[in-house]
Amino acid sequence: MPNLSLPSALLIAAAEAEITEAEATRLADAAALAALRDRLAGADTELTAMTLALEAERKRAEETLTLLAGARAVAETADETETALAAAETALLAEQEKTLAAAREVELLNQQIAALRSQLGSLQQVLDEAQARDAAAQVQLESLGSELNTALAQVASEQRRRAELEAAEAARLEAENRDLARFRSEFFGELSTLLAGREGVRVVGDRFVFSSEVLFNPGSADLAPEGRAQIAGVVRTLDEVRQKIPAEIDWIIRVDGHTDNVPLSGGGAFADNWELSQARALSVVRFMQDELGFPPDRMAATGFGEYRPVAAGDTPEVRALNRRIELKLTER
């Protein structure tokens, strides 16, 4: 049986008390019994009504309990929500910190990007300037290449022209040498005839060799009378030959002085054999120029000292051979 409220229990208890009392006092009274039955029927109706009321109360109580449970659930949910909210707030704070940190990193990154863009702009400017210089250099290089090609062409032309001139000069010199060889042969032939049989004069290759004893006194660079006569005969023959030599042949008479290997004392007019050989060659040249009128631009005087001997050894005969004056008709 469902639980009853206090007023309903009192009513039921009172009704049962009345019924018990009626049964005790009026068992025989049918009317009373009927009335009691009626009253019981009414009580039953009332009980039914009360039962319905109780059921309604029960439903309301259940609803209340449901509401209370819901309220408790809501309260528990609220606690959980509060906990969740606290956790969410904590997480939110953490996320905010992360967001702030990320914002700071983004700001730093933006600054770095701005710096990089600035550097990139500077580099781009440098690159643009370099490209401009490269373009100018390329233009200059092309111009220089063109100028170089022109210069190379000119050089090639000059080289061809020089080669042609050199070939022509070589041909001219060859012709001159042939001509000079012919006049040298003529000169040598006439001199050989003139000087044939004379002591102290000999032909060595393309040179006339005069012994120093024929031309000079011992230790002297002054031409002796016999030496002057010998040189004068050579110049007369040479004057005849040089008249026939074409003007374009650049010839000279080279006068070379040589000594033996006996050192000079150094107390005389000459310090050593170098000076003696040069002085003797120069004495011949000056005699040819000053006394015989031979053109000075066709002569050369050279001293070799003791360093070009024609014979080896230290005998008086060998030394006599090495003391000499050589005349050679040759090109300049």
Domain termination residue (choose one: 87, 118, 150): 87
Cα separation, 197 vs 201, in Å, equals 8
With cut-offs at 50, 70 and 90, classify the pLDDT of residue 163. Answer: confident
Question: Mean pLDDT over residues 164-192, rounded?
Answer: 65
Q: How far apart are CA 291 and CA 286, in angstroms?
A: 8
3-state per-residue secondary structure call for the chain? CCCCCHHHHHHHHHHHHHHHHHHHHCCCCHHHHHHHHHHHHHHHHHHHHHHHHHHHHHHHHHHHHHHHHHHHHHHHHHHHHHHHHHHHHHHHHHHHHHHHHHHHHHHHHHHHHHHHHHHHHHHHHHHHHHHHHHHHHHHHHHHHHHHHHHHHHHHHHHHHHHHHHHHHHHHHHHHHHHHHHHHHHHHHHHHHHHHCCCCCEEEECCEEEEEHHHHECCCCCCECHHHHHHHHHHHHHHHHHHCCCCCCCCEEEEEEEECCCCCCCCCCCCCCHHHHHHHHHHHHHHHHHHHCCCCHHHEEEEECCCCCCCCCCCCHHHHHHHCEEEEEEEEC
Residue 153 lies in a domain: no
Position 222 confidence tier, pLDDT thresholds 50, 70, 90: very high
Residue 180 has pLDDT above 70, yes or no: no
Q: 322 in a domain, yes or no? A: yes
Cα–Cα distance for residue pair 289/269, rounded to 1 Å: 23
Question: In which domain, by residue range, is 320 found?
Answer: 197-331
> What is the structure's pLDDT at 123?
72
Please compute the mean of the pLDDT values over residues 87-93 and round it to a whole number.
73
Is 57 within the bounds of a domain? yes
Q: Note whether residue 260 is domain-resident.
A: yes
What's residue 216's pLDDT?
Answer: 94
The token duo for 7 is 């007023």
201 and 320 co-located in one domain: yes
Q: Do the domain assignments include residue 185?
A: no
Q: State the pLDDT confidence band at 33, using cuts at 50, 70 and 90.
A: low
User: For residues 64 and 75, what is the distance between their CA atoms, to the nearest angstrom?
Assistant: 15
Q: Which residues of 9-40 are buried (b: 16+ CB within 10 A; e: fewer)?
A: eebeeebeeeeeebeeeeeeeeeeeeebeebb
Instruction: Compute the distance between CA of residue 256 and CA of residue 153 in angstroms, rounded to an integer.
Output: 48
Question: Would residue 188 count as lying in a domain?
Answer: no
Distance CA 141, CA 148 (A): 10
The alpha carbon torsion through 52, 55, 60, 62 (nearest 10 deg) reads: -170
Q: What is the pLDDT of residues 309-325, one digit of tens each?
A: 999 999 999 999 999 99
pLDDT score, position 198: 62
176 assigned to some structural domain = no
Using the predicted structure, report yes or no on whether residue 204 has a pLDDT greater than 90. Answer: no
The pLDDT, as a whole number, for residue 37 is 65
Residue 116 predicted with pLDDT over 60:
yes
Per-residue pLDDT at 199: 65
State the greatest distance between any 2 C-alpha atoms of the chain, in Å, as a whole number.
Answer: 223
Instruction: Look at residues 65, 87, 109 and tell me which one is the last residue of a structural domain.
Output: 87
**CA-to-CA distance for 326 and 322, rounded, in angstroms?**
11
* Short-list 241, 245, 260, 251, CA closest to 316: 260
Residue 208 vs residue 296, higher pLDDT: 296
**For the chain, how many structural domains are there in total?**
2
- Whole-angstrom distance, CA of residue 59 vs CA of residue 280: 167
> For 224-280, what is each residue's pLDDT tens digit?
999 999 899 889 888 888 888 888 888 899 999 999 999 988 788 899 999 999 999
Query: Residue 331's pLDDT is what?
Result: 80
Least confident span in 34-38, 58-62, 92-96: 34-38
Amino acid identity at 84: A
Averaged pLDDT score across all residues of the chain: 79
Which of the residue ranges 98-107, 214-223, 297-306 would you say has the lowest mean pLDDT?
Answer: 98-107
Whole-number Å distance between alpha carbons of 13 and 36: 15
pLDDT of residue 58: 73
Whole-angstrom Cα distance, residue 233 to residue 104? Answer: 118
Answer yes or no: is 131 within a domain: no
CATH number of the CATH domain containing 244: 3.30.1330.60
For the entire predicted model, the pTM comes to 0.46
Tell me the two tokens of residue 19.
Answer: 């019924």
| Single residue among 28, 61, 87 that ends a domain in this structure | 87
Residue 212 has pLDDT above 90, yes or no: yes
pLDDT in tens, 44-68: 676 677 667 767 777 776 777 777 6
pLDDT of residue 246: 81
